[in-house]
Amino acid sequence: MSGDRAAAAPARVAVALAWGAPLLLLLAVVLLALGVGRYPVSPPDILRIVAAKLAGLPSGLPETAETVVWQVRLPRVGAGLLVGAALAASGAVYQGLFRNPLVSPDILGVSAGASLGAVAGIFLSLSVAAIQGLAFAGGLVAVALVYAIGSAARGRDPVLVLVLAGVAIGALLGACISLLKVLADPYNQLPAITFWLLGSLASATRGDLFSILPAILLGLAPMALLRWRMNLLTLDEEEARALGVETARLRLVLIAAATLMTAAAVSISGIIGWIGLLVPHVARALAGPDFARLLPAALMLGGGYLVAVDTLARTMAPIEVPLGILTAAIGAPFFLWLLLTARQGWR
Amino acid sequence: MLAARDLAFGYGRAPVGRDVTLDIEPGEVFCLLGPNGCGKTTLFRTLLGLLPPRAGRVELDGRPVAGFSRAAFARRVGYVPQAGAPTFPFTVLDVVLMGRASRIATFAAPSPADHAAARAALETIGVAHLAGRRFTEISGGERQMTLIARALAQEPGLIVMDEPTASLDFGNQARVIERIRELGARGIAVVLSTHDPGHAFACANRVALMQRGRIVALGPPDRVLTAGALQRLYGVAVAVAWLEEAGRHVCAPSIAETGRIP
């Protein structure tokens, strides 16, 4: 039995890395995000305000501090957590399902599809729920198209075909978005569209959080339930079927779940690129490829990363820097670094 | 147990082979030989129910394969594909655990019993020391052993192996053939394809020769694998001789006479 004990020590280290590191990082980032800004609040005060609000008691701190932490920063931090976690989790699922660590909601055209749906919704002056619905439908149609093209072009490098198909579909959808921008009312609709396409959490309200929470939980449920099956779907299609997995059904469920999550996130934050590509990589490096560990790591790191970037976006300059600009400025160099240094297993 | 009756197989409209009738006996090692592109892999995919037959039937224990769920089939028949490049750095133990998929409920994760079965399979194949290594970082021979262990972890009565010795070095080829013999001795039937007729002598109870999608000879190795049959099959002159030191027949092409491709 000494072999078991010897094996247990590295396993404990692995669990600590998979859960502990992201969790600590996440807590630190949330406290920081609630504290910094034009009106700084210290971590002990933040904890006191949050505890008092939750208990329904007065905190004994200035009302301004309470308002800033509870009314202004908390919904925004909450939105960052939800959107970041959703984008990272769906990125991890897409990378597994397409057996390719370089795919992401952006590269597969999900984001572009969801954008077109939402921009069309804004253009037609639809309700928020309808805009979210259109974003979801657009994302799903885009993934389905890219996937269909990928499987129709057999015999060639499937990864390359997938990425190129995603680029082409993304460009096509981008053209449609540009057309709608040209046609949109420049005073009412165009600012909303532009703001939305650059991505921002500035206008996120508590109501927004509650409106996307069900969709995100609905998408998360199959991911969590199928956490072990998900590993089998990263195998070659026939290999997985020969192992006894009904791949077609599971794949469909998980693609729908990941797309629902992405679309829900995009519907309140607009387009925030690169998180779905970057975070799953870091999560995999920390927690390994086993989806049962990868999923929680991606959720925590994704949420923490977006909150951190959003905090940077609102504090680094006198005016607020759009999120999409920052995530791209951080993500693109990281991606290139990954390309240049990728080890075999990371590909 | 696994049987094909008047089977025709192929992709879409393109027929690859037809008139295949065979019946795999429990515990036998059945070797399929044939030149490149003769339809071995397509036949295997059809036998595994991954490709629908174009005509005829594939039966498992007397029931049509199409009537089995993927999981029910996988509990009876294992499959060792040609080892491709894996995408993600799973550990060898994780890979072998995937062999338990057909015995684990859809929403569940592997139980301690599944872990024990996976470790036992690694033990049986003699690669228990690899358990913690990453599948992406081990050698081709070690990957092949891992995939055989994964099939064994399915606890099947039959394992289908598509060219298990392909792209392995001399020593690893011999090791894989040895494992296949051991599986047969444990009562697990093995169907394999190979490019080396010597392998059939080394491990098979029965051998089938396949040419242009048809079985042209079927029987025990020393009856089927004659110099004449192999020459007709591969288009090169082949010498088949008893090698006392190896205790079995060996096959060697006569290189001097292979200058022309017919």
CA end-to-end span of chain B:
39
Q: What is the pLDDT of residues A141-180, one digit of tens each?
A: 898 888 888 778 766 666 678 778 888 999 999 999 999 9
A13 within some domain: no
In a domain, A11, yes or no: no
Chain A residues near residue B108 by CB distance under 8 angstroms: 228
Cα of A331 to nearest chain B Cα, Å: 21
Q: Which band of pLDDT confidence, cut at 50, 70 and 90, is reported for residue A238? A: confident
Determine the Cα–Cα distance for residues A194 and A11; give it in Å rounded to an integer: 48
Say whether pLDDT at A193 is over 80: yes
**What is the domain extent for residue A68?**
21-346
Q: What's the mean per-residue pLDDT of chain A?
A: 86
Nearest to A242 among B74, B109, B134 (CB): B74
Phi and psi of B242, rounded to 5°? -75, 130
Confidence (pLDDT) at A86: 96
ipTM value > 0.85: yes
CA distance B241 to B173: 20
Q: Which residues pair with A55 in a beta bridge?
A: none
Is-contact B64 A264, C-beta < 8 A? no
Chain centroid to CA A78? 13
Residue A12 located in a structural domain: no
Tell me how far apart the alpha carbons of residues B159 and B57 are, in angstroms, rounded to a whole number: 19
Residue B119 Cα to chain centre, angstroms: 22
Specify the pLDDT at position A156: 65
Residue B183 and residue B197: Cα distance in Å, rounded?
19
The number of residues making up chain B comes to 262
How much is the pTM?
Answer: 0.88
Structure token digits, residue A210: 């509650």
Quick check: is A2 in a domain?
Answer: no
When pLDDT is averaged across residues A182-189 and rounded to a whole number, the result is 90
Q: Side-chain half-sphere of A218: how many Cα atoms within 13 Å?
A: 14
Q: Is residue B115 a contact partner of residue B97, using CB atoms and an 8 Å limit?
A: yes
> What's the confidence (pLDDT) of residue B107?
93
Q: What are phi and psi of A77, to 5 degrees?
A: -65, -40
Count how many domains chain A has. 1
Structural domains for chain B: 2-225 (3.40.50.300), 227-262 (no CATH)
Q: Do B106 and A226 touch (CB under 8 A)?
A: yes
Cβ <8 Å between A244 and B79 = no
Q: What angle do CA A262, A267, A272 make, to 5 degrees?
A: 65
Low-confidence ranges of chain B (pLDDT < 70): 256-262
Length of chain A: 347
Residue range A208-222, pLDDT digits in tens:
898 889 989 999 999
Q: Is the pLDDT of residue A342 over 90?
A: no
pLDDT > 90 fraction of chain A, expressed in percent and rounded = 43
CB-based contact, B71 to chain A, within 8 Å: yes
pLDDT at A224: 96
Residue pLDDT, tens place only, B180-230? 999 999 999 999 999 999 999 999 999 999 999 999 999 999 999 999 999
Higher pLDDT, A100 or A331: A331
Residues from chain B contacting residue A226 (CB–CB below 8 Å): 106-107
pLDDT at B142: 93
What's the confidence (pLDDT) of residue A341?
A: 76
| pLDDT of the residue at A347 | 40
A1 located within any domain:
no
Tens of pLDDT along A29-58? 999 999 998 899 999 999 999 999 888 888
Strands B206-211 and B29-33: parallel
Q: Which residues of chain A approach chain B closer than 8 Å at the C-beta?
A: 7, 10, 96, 99-101, 225-229, 231-232, 234-236, 238-246, 284, 288-290, 292, 344-347
Q: Which of A101-105, A153-157, A201-205 has the highest mean pLDDT?
A: A201-205
**What mean pLDDT is predicted for residues A73-100?**
93
- Taking an 8 Å cut-off on Cβ atoms, the answer to whether B89 and A289 are in contact is yes
CATH number of the domain that residue A286 is part of: 1.10.3470.10
The reply to whether residue B101 touches residue A284, judged by beta carbons under 8 angstroms, is no
User: pLDDT, tens digit, for every residue of A250-297?
Assistant: 988 998 899 889 888 888 888 888 899 889 988 988 888 999 999 999
What does R_g of chain B's alpha carbons equal in angstroms? 19
Tokens encoding A271: 């387009």
Pick among B88, B129, B161 to test the A interface (most A CBs inside 10 A): B88
Q: What end-to-end distance do the CA atoms of chain A give, in Å?
A: 37
Contact state of B88 with A101 under an 8 Å Cβ cutoff: yes
* Residues 6 or more apart in contact with residue A77 via CB below 8 angstroms: A30, A33, A34, A307, A310
pLDDT the model gives residue B190:
97
> What residues are paired with B210 via a beta bridge?
B215
Residue A255 maps to a domain: yes
Q: Is residue A325 part of a domain?
A: yes
